[in-house]
Amino acid sequence: KVNNNATRRCIQQCRSNETSDRPENGLSNGHYVARSGSIPADTVNLKRRVGLLSGVALIVGTMIGSGIFVSPSELLKQTDSVAVSLIIWALAGGLAMLGALAYAELGTMNTSSGAEYAYFMDAFGSLPAFLFSWVSTLVLKPSQLAIIILTFAQYTCGAFMVGEAPTLAVKLVATATIMLLLFINCYSVNLATGVQNVFTAAKLVAIAIVCVGGLYKFIEGNPATSDMGFGNAKQNYGKIATAFYSGLWAYDGWNNLNYATEEIKNPDKNLPRSIMLGIPLVTVCYVFINIAYLFVMTPDEMIASEAVAVTFGQRVLGSYAWIIPLSVAISTFGAANGTVFAAGRLGFATSREGHFSDILSYIHVRRFTPIPALVFHAVIAIAMVIPGNIDSLINFFSFTAWIFYGGAMAALLWQRHTKPNFPRPYRVPTIAPILVLIISIYLVIAPIVENPELEYLYASLFIAAGLVFYIPFVHYQKSIGLMEPITIFLQKWFEVAPTEVMEE
């Protein structure tokens, strides 16, 4: 571990420049993080700056992104029945809720940041935890960001151009937006959570506008869809799984707060509370917004529409139809901000354990933000945006993500067995992780069986490639000679320091 004099000097110098904002010894360690008993005075640590409101916003504001404005047609197309599609919307919300409640147990039992990484580390040890972070930091998190940001850029460019926006413009806007988000998140935790809160509030207002518009059509007496029944529901269960997947993307992000547990004030209470408030709120919004769309468009019109929300706006809002693309832009910007926030904490938590290069675990000595991990995340996301084809990214994403959600359920159940008496400030009914585990196995296997695509093979090969990296660099702790000077250089450049003094 690098714990050199340059680090100490850097901290001392920077500290002497400021007096009021001294770091608190606020890091409450989970089980495995406690490598140094008490936290020495010359280290910097993340601060607990996320309260209940910001906690809810980090969940709700990340979940509500692009999905709800575009996926409803897809669900309707797959199921061919209004009632079935509404049921799937509600069930996907239920699944997110059960999964998140299980994460509430995991996150209050182990209060280290990094979510799945921390839980795998505790339950299964170093290798599975490493492989999770390997896939997640290199592919999953950046591809989530790329998808959301590309949607943002499409809507923003669309607002200023007639017809289809040129790809180059979309990609440039996407790249610039990632840099803006990077700046916000590096600047301060308060700025990042402030942006998250404002954008979450704004997107909830936008959803309320859509719901009121639908209600108005209903009260007027001629809703477009009067029969919300089962219609000619297709008896094809494979299609239902695909429909479920489209819904699940809209709900993804339910675990977002678990990445930053070390920064939550009073996490034992605020983590479960944020989950219990946030996820039902999103579910209610999603079901209502779907009903509102249906009051304005027939199911066939919805299926034919490229972006349901936009068609809705043109029909209901008249000369105010621009509100909708603006809402999508606000919604996706907020979701992207929440994604960047979480991804920074994942890289930070992983490298603090020596699983990635040390520099990624350092935080800014005055801003207390994990700048190197954030920069790393943004660079990969930009690299994905440039060649980006959104559809293949989504396919790749859902498959690997559910392996890990299922893995976290297994970690919970396994720890119930291996550590029955370990304090669990929140205990989820056992049926929840069991159900989510079964569903996630189905969600991983079904698409491969139904429609074996090369992407699944690539994904598996990529996970396996993690091993090639793990054996020399993590297991045998081989270091590349060049890393030390690079680390020192970046450390001075970013003004970052390790979060705790580590034993040699």
Binding site for ligand ARG (CB under 6 A): 62-63, 65-67, 144, 148, 249-250, 252-253, 256, 335, 339
Least distance from C-beta 199 to ligand ARG, angstroms? 13
**Between residues 144 and 499, which has the closer beta carbon with respect to ligand ARG?**
144
Least distance from C-beta 145 to ligand ARG, angstroms? 7
**Between residues 64 and 409, which has the closer beta carbon with respect to ligand ARG?**
64
Residue whose entry in the numeric block shows the structure tokens 């933000």: 369
Least distance from C-beta 423 to ligand ARG, angstroms? 28
**Between residues 10 and 346, which has the closer beta carbon with respect to ligand ARG?**
346
Least distance from C-beta 151 to ligand ARG, angstroms? 7
Task: In whole angstroms, give the CA distance from residue 235 to residue 224.
Answer: 25
Task: In whole angstroms, give the CA distance from residue 199 to residue 197.
Answer: 6
Question: Residue type for 341, please?
Answer: F
**Between residues 144 and 350, which has the closer beta carbon with respect to ligand ARG?**
144
Residues 365/496, Cβ–Cβ less than 8 Å? yes
* Letter string b/e over residues 450-471, b meaning 16 or more CB atoms within 10 A of that residue's CB: eeeeebbeebeebbeebeeebe
Least distance from C-beta 457 to ligand ARG, angstroms? 24
In degrees, to the nearest 5, what angle opens at C-alpha 394 toward C-alphas 392 and 396?
A: 70
Least distance from C-beta 340 to ligand ARG, angstroms? 9
3-state secondary structure of 497: strand
Question: CA torsion 94→96→102→108, rounded to 10°?
Answer: -120
Beta bridge pairs of residue 264: 50
Least distance from C-beta 63 to ligand ARG, angstroms? 5
**Between residues 27 and 380, which has the closer beta carbon with respect to ligand ARG?**
380
Q: Which two tokens stand for residue 142?
A: 């950046």
**Between residues 23 and 93, which has the closer beta carbon with respect to ligand ARG?**
93
Residues 137/376, Cβ–Cβ less than 8 Å? yes
**Between residues 261 and 487, which has the closer beta carbon with respect to ligand ARG?**
261
Task: In whole angstroms, give the CA distance from residue 247 to residue 436.
Answer: 16
Task: In whole angstroms, give the CA distance from residue 231 to residue 225.
Answer: 12
Least distance from C-beta 318 to ligand ARG, angstroms? 27
**Between residues 251 and 473, which has the closer beta carbon with respect to ligand ARG?**
251
The CB-nearest residue to ligand ARG is 65
Q: Could you tell me whether strands 496-497 and 363-364 are parallel, antiparallel, or unpaired per DSSP bridges?
A: antiparallel
Residue whose entry in the numeric block shows the structure tokens 């809703």: 223
**Between residues 131 and 140, which has the closer beta carbon with respect to ligand ARG?**
140
**Between residues 60 and 474, which has the closer beta carbon with respect to ligand ARG?**
60
Least distance from C-beta 127 to ligand ARG, angstroms? 24
In degrees, to the nearest 5, what angle opens at C-alpha 121 toward C-alphas 119 and 126?
A: 155
Helix (H) or strand (E) holding 230: none
**Between residues 249 and 426, which has the closer beta carbon with respect to ligand ARG?**
249
Least distance from C-beta 177 to ligand ARG, angstroms? 14
Task: In whole angstroms, give the CA distance from residue 373 to residue 366.
Answer: 16
* DSSP states along 361-382: G-EETTT---HHHHHHHHHHHH
Least distance from C-beta 88 to ligand ARG, angstroms? 15
- Give burial (CB, 10 Å; 0-12/13-18/19+) of 125: exposed
Task: In whole angstroms, give the CA distance from residue 270 to residue 258.
Answer: 11
- Give burial (CB, 10 Å; 0-12/13-18/19+) of 88: buried
